[in-house]
Amino acid sequence: MAGRRAGAGTGVRTLLALLALRALGAAAHPQCLDFRPPFRPPQPLRFCAQYSAFGCCAPEHDAALARRFGALAARVDAAIWAECAGYALDLLCQDPSTPLRTVPGLCEDYCLDLWRSCRGLFRHLSPDRELWTLEGNRAKFCHYLSLDDTDYCFPRLLVNENLNSNLGRVVADAMGCLQLCLEEVANGLRNPVAMVHARDGSHRFFVAEQLGLVWVYLPDRSRLEKPFLNISRAVLTSPWEGDERGFLGLAFHPGFRHNGKLYVYYSVGVGFHEWIRISEFRVSEDDVNAVDHDSERIILEIEEPASNHNGGQLLFGDDGYLYIFTGDGGMAGDPFGKFGNAQNKSALLGKVLRIDVDRNERGPLYRIPSDNPFVGDPAARPEVYALGVRNMWRCSFDRGDPASGAGRGRLFCGDVGQNKFEEVDLVERGRNYGWRAREGFECYDRKLCANTSLGDRPPPPRALEDLSPRICPPTPRLLRTTQEALLGTGCRLTPASPASADDVLPIFAYPHKLGKSVTGGYVYRGCEYPNLNGLYIFGDFMSGRLMSLRENLGTGQWQYNEICMGRGQTCAFPGLINNYYPHIISFAEDEAGELYFMSTGVPSATVARGVVYKMIDPSRRAPPGKCQIQPAQVKVRSRLIHFVPKEEFIRRTESTPRPTAPAPTKAPRRSRPTTAPLAPTLRPSRSTPRPGRRRGGGRRRGRLGTKVPEPSNGAVRLVRPAGLSPGRGRVEVFAGGRWGTVCDDAWDTKGAAVVCRQLGFAYAVRAAKRAEFGEGHTLPILLDDVRCTGSERNLLECAHAGLGSHNCDHQEDAGVVCSREDPHL
Ligand SMILES: *[C@@H]1O[C@H](CO)[C@@H](O)[C@H](O)[C@H]1NC(C)=O
Ligand SMILES: *[C@@H]1O[C@H](CO)[C@@H](O)[C@H](O)[C@H]1NC(C)=O
Ligand SMILES: *[C@@H]1O[C@H](CO)[C@@H](O)[C@H](O)[C@H]1NC(C)=O
Ligand SMILES: [Ca+2]
């Protein structure tokens, strides 16, 4: 707060601005004291009408706030109320009934005004006794209520352009980098290559490791101890970092619910002879969480002339056909045959294949869909759907816009490049994606490039590597000229050779300065983060860069934005993290459409350093309740292993350069790729603040001035449903740098007494069990088997199981009821 002292007129001007704003009914950014992103309420609010378009307040809550307001009016002297009702409305509508704050952070001028005649309100609005004791001292009182981040104080945030110009949009920083956060979902995985769901309503997710194991996770993120599938004996791979062979892909049949079929893609080898195999399996008749290992039927095998470029994606389209993405066979420059495999339609390598695996119980194991593009061509394999592919690593079908369905069925792929460019392609039937004639937008094999329809393009721009990536439209007849690339003006649409239109340029390509191995992702179509709708999110395995493309519907061009981890307080929500391991192996969508990715610190098939992360948009979420899912129950026969997150939020101050290796954590930091001496995920160069640079707004966490310290080890807090009086709630404990819950095994009034005393209550009335005060889903369970004598200074001093190790779940979250009065009197 130092250095800012508002003149007397500022408060008045701010208020006038606010009144004007309210009169216009414009949406304004609320403070969201629950430290979660704001959302658009499903219907307009009656009491906090100002936040009808965008806020933190659900309609039920709005009604509760209206009642509180009414109760307050009845309690406060009428003369005072006349003056203070406006303040009360302001303060209540910031929705202060959250465990983390009791009152909004206030701008100094506003607070000073308020203090003059309405400070008495706080006795009714906040249970915080420390605040009450400061009531007599105006400066201390307002300092206590101030925020570090003055942009975010109330009411200035309502008119802060940075915050409000971004309402309803993903927040970008000054460099155009979209700020997202992550939630850890699974860990300890050995090169997790795929995560898929079965489309069967169970909302399970299946994570495949390169070694040939597939694990089942339940919607609560617990993992079944017994693997779903274990074909590690048959799968060819090695511990060598960067080995591209192994178990590479997995897809459930669209009718899995009825026919129990799934398909896998893996490498096999005998001596020096290697090939890929696509097999069909069935789920076991007596366990829906296990594959019948004897059910394997080999659908297709393809010789691999070299150990790299093995493709590996399997997908079912809306057409019900199985799409198979092969690599060009390996080595460098697709050297096989006269002009390589990828341009050779009679080779299955370097292709997108499409086959029909339905009704294959009798007769052939698969059939050729009658509208495959080369069925009548004697010089082509009929399986071929598209060609000119080098090594497509991760493809996905767009689910389409949730409301309009627009975009549905588009097939996005990342095609890994040779020496210079990584590309993203929109794959269409019968099209040629250029390799080895072309790499990205450039010619790779000049002769071939000039000889075919792929030629007749301008000479490659020499200096393109030094430029930022450019986006060009997907239409094959359009291209970008060298000059435009060099000028950095993007893409001019110039008709190229009309001779053949079946060759397609990428929708986006990036030079090796930004990354050396693209990992294709997904178009976000989930429910929880409406701002991300339509954004194609992908990454790079070598540089750890996360990237995005958004289609401009007017021009058909794709707008590139990097994705970076939210800075400052942006990701400081409970349960979120702001860092990840750099080797981005794969992306995933869960059954509800939420987006995930998998990466590892050590890209070896035998090192268990892979993590699954969920993408979180801190700038906006869907209204509470909108995205609830009701997973179909599945019978679980195996033991369950509860998920314990291991990764931590890294606290960084914006004003100091980011440390390359944060001190207190033991985990290998992802800012240091192990094999790739390239731009690390959290690039320190970007962290250096630029003069005049501002954070891109978004929801920021309101913190109480400089007075809110990092909690100390063993600190506790109570989380309680709205409306309950203080002194009762779920117990959350701070240990090892994070908040977590306490399990109710062994939980008794002695433990409760310790917690109550820590919180300033003399008495413990009751030890609450069975999540009486709700479940702390987003937090780890930190303490189990807590046994206190009652005289300990904090919970950590009591006997307990090792921090974070437990055998319970959130249904057993412990709570307390405390009192200042002796309950026995
Ligand atoms: C998977 O199979 C291999 C070889 O058959 C076996 O050695 C290994 O223990 C199995 N792994 C699990 C987790 O069942
Ligand atoms: C195309 O691929 C097929 C199958 O691998 C091969 O027999 C043929 O020689 C190749 N053609 C050329 C021109 O390289
Ligand atoms: C290159 O051009 C020659 C002559 O026009 C043609 O016979 C040959 O098939 C072309 N090569 C490819 C790969 O299209
Ligand atoms: Ca290409």
For helices 8-24 and 108-118, the axis angle rounded to 10 degrees is 90
Tell me the CB-side half-sphere exposure of residue 329, using CA atoms within 13 A. Answer: 23
pLDDT digits (tens, 9 = 90+) for 75-125: 888 888 888 888 888 888 876 444 456 778 888 888 998 999 898 888 888
Helix (H) or strand (E) run with residue 548 in it: strand 546-551
The pLDDT assigned to 484 comes to 33
CB 339 near ligand 3, within 6 Å: yes
Same domain, 296 and 351: yes
For position 810, which CATH number holds?
A: 3.10.250.10
- How many angstroms separate the CA atoms of 416 and 821, rounded? 69
CB 224 near ligand 1, within 6 Å: no
pLDDT digits (tens, 9 = 90+) for 26-78: 455 566 655 566 777 777 888 888 777 767 777 777 888 888 888 888 888 88
Same domain, 350 and 410: yes
In a domain, 550, yes or no: yes
In a domain, 664, yes or no: no
In a domain, 674, yes or no: no
Same domain, 79 and 142: yes
Task: Give DSSP secondary structure letters for 801-820.
Answer: SSTT--S--GGGB-EEEEES
Q: Tell me the best of 275, 304, 346 to mutate to test the pocket of ligand 2, counting ligand atoms within 8 Å of each CB and taking the most.
A: 346
Closest CA to 594 of 538, 525, 521, 519: 525
Q: Letter for the amino acid at 762?
A: A
In a domain, 684, yes or no: no
- How many angstroms separate the CA atoms of 772 and 813, rounded? 8
Residue 731, strand partner residues? 718
Q: Whose CA is nearest to atom 12 of ligand 3?
A: 452
Cα of 213 vs centre of ligand 1, distance in Å, is 8
CB 656 near ligand 3, within 6 Å: no
Percent with pLDDT over 90 in the chain: 45
The pLDDT assigned to 426 comes to 96
CB 344 near ligand 3, within 6 Å: no
In a domain, 687, yes or no: no
Cα of 232 vs centre of ligand 1, distance in Å, is 7
Cα of 346 vs centre of ligand 2, distance in Å, is 6
* Phi, psi at 111, each rounded to 5°: -65, -40
HEC-encoded secondary structure of 470-534: EECCCCCCEECCHHHHHHCCCCCCEECCCCCCCECCCCEEEECCCCCCEEEEEECCCCCCHHHCC
CA angle 198-203-205, nearest 5°? 65
213 CA closest ligand 1 atom index: 1
Q: Which of 589, 622, 641 is the last residue of a domain?
A: 641
Q: Whose CA is nearest to atom 13 of ligand 2?
A: 338
Same domain, 193 and 105: no
- How many domains does the chain fold into? 3
- Cα distances (angstroms) measured from residue 710 to each of 31, 160, 797: 20, 27, 19
Task: Give DSSP secondary structure letters for 396-428.
Answer: EE----TTT-TTTT-EEEEE--SSSEEEEEEE-
CB 232 near ligand 1, within 6 Å: yes
Q: Whose CA is nearest to atom 10 of ligand 2?
A: 337
Same domain, 258 and 398: yes
Cα of 438 vs centre of ligand 4, distance in Å, is 6
Q: Whose CA is nearest to atom 1 of ligand 1?
A: 230
Q: Letter for the amino acid at 418?
A: Q
- Cα distances (angstroms) measured from residue 353 to each of 196, 256, 342, 384, 469: 20, 21, 12, 5, 29
* Phi, psi at 348, each rounded to 5°: -85, -10
Q: CB neighbours (10 Å) of residue 762?
A: 12
In a domain, 508, yes or no: yes
HEC-encoded secondary structure of 633-699: CCCCCCCEECCCCCCCCCCCCCCCCCCCCCCCCCCCCCCCCCCCCCCCCCCHHHHCCCCCCCCCCCC
For helices 78-93 and 59-75, the axis angle rounded to 10 degrees is 160
pLDDT beneath 70, residues of the chain: 1-37, 54, 95-101, 148-149, 151, 160-171, 451-502, 568-569, 652-710, 722-723, 825
* Phi, psi at 61, each rounded to 5°: -70, -35
Same domain, 467 and 329: yes
Residue 458, strand partner residues? none
Same domain, 149 and 248: no
- How many angstroms separate the CA atoms of 153 and 157, rounded? 6
Cα of 570 vs centre of ligand 2, distance in Å, is 55
In a domain, 477, yes or no: yes
Residues 6+ apart with CB under 8 A from 691: none
Query: Nearest ligand, CA of residue 435?
Result: 4
Residue 298, strand partner residues? 279
Lookup: tokens for 218: 């339940």
Cα of 390 vs centre of ligand 4, distance in Å, is 8
- How many angstroms separate the CA atoms of 317 and 322, rounded? 7
Q: Which of 164, 195, 217 is the last residue of a domain?
A: 164
The pLDDT assigned to 696 comes to 24
Same domain, 150 and 275: no
Contact 249/264 with Cβ under 8 angstroms?
Answer: yes
Say if residue 370 is exposed, middle or buried (CB neighbours under 10 Å; 0-12, 13-18, 19+). exposed
Cα of 511 vs centre of ligand 4, distance in Å, is 13
The pLDDT assigned to 452 comes to 56
Cα of 513 vs centre of ligand 4, distance in Å, is 18
Say if residue 408 is exposed, middle or buried (CB neighbours under 10 Å; 0-12, 13-18, 19+). middle
Tell me how far the alpha carbon of residue 455 is from its chain's centroid.
40
Q: CB neighbours (10 Å) of residue 782?
A: 26
Cα of 43 vs centre of ligand 2, distance in Å, is 63
CB 338 near ligand 2, within 6 Å: yes
Same domain, 578 and 724: no
Q: Whose CA is nearest to atom 2 of ligand 2?
A: 347
Same domain, 186 and 154: no
Query: Nearest ligand, CA of residue 453?
Result: 3
- Cα distances (angstroms) measured from residue 806 to each of 714, 774, 800: 17, 19, 10
The pLDDT assigned to 692 comes to 23
pTM score, whole prediction: 0.68
What are the helix and strand counts (H, E) for the chain? 14, 37
Q: Tell me the best of 209, 211, 225, 232 to mutate to test the pocket of ligand 1, counting ligand atoms within 8 Å of each CB and taking the most.
A: 232
Cα of 121 vs centre of ligand 2, distance in Å, is 83
Q: Whose CA is nearest to atom 5 of ligand 2?
A: 347
Tell me the CB-side half-sphere exposure of residue 637, using CA atoms within 13 A. Answer: 10
343 CA closest ligand 3 atom index: 13
- How many angstroms separate the CA atoms of 318 and 316, rounded? 7
- How many angstroms separate the CA atoms of 717 and 758, rounded? 9
Same domain, 156 and 192: no
In a domain, 698, yes or no: no
- How many angstroms separate the CA atoms of 2 and 5, rounded? 8
Same domain, 469 and 406: yes
Owning domain of residue 742: 716-819
Closest CA to 81 of 94, 72, 91: 72
CB 230 near ligand 1, within 6 Å: yes
CB 389 near ligand 2, within 6 Å: no
Q: Whose CA is nearest to atom 4 of ligand 3?
A: 451
Q: Which of 641, 662, 679 is the last residue of a domain?
A: 641
- How many angstroms separate the CA atoms of 325 and 347, rounded? 13
- Cα distances (angstroms) measured from residue 805 to each of 641, 645, 735, 740, 781: 11, 11, 13, 12, 8
Going edge to edge, which strands form the sheet with 384-387? 313-316, 322-325, 351-355, 384-387
Residue in the block written with tokens 């995930």: 596
For position 483, which CATH number holds?
A: 2.120.10.30
Kindly state the greatest CA–CA separation across the chain. Answer: 97
CB 347 near ligand 2, within 6 Å: yes
Query: Nearest ligand, CA of residue 441?
Result: 4
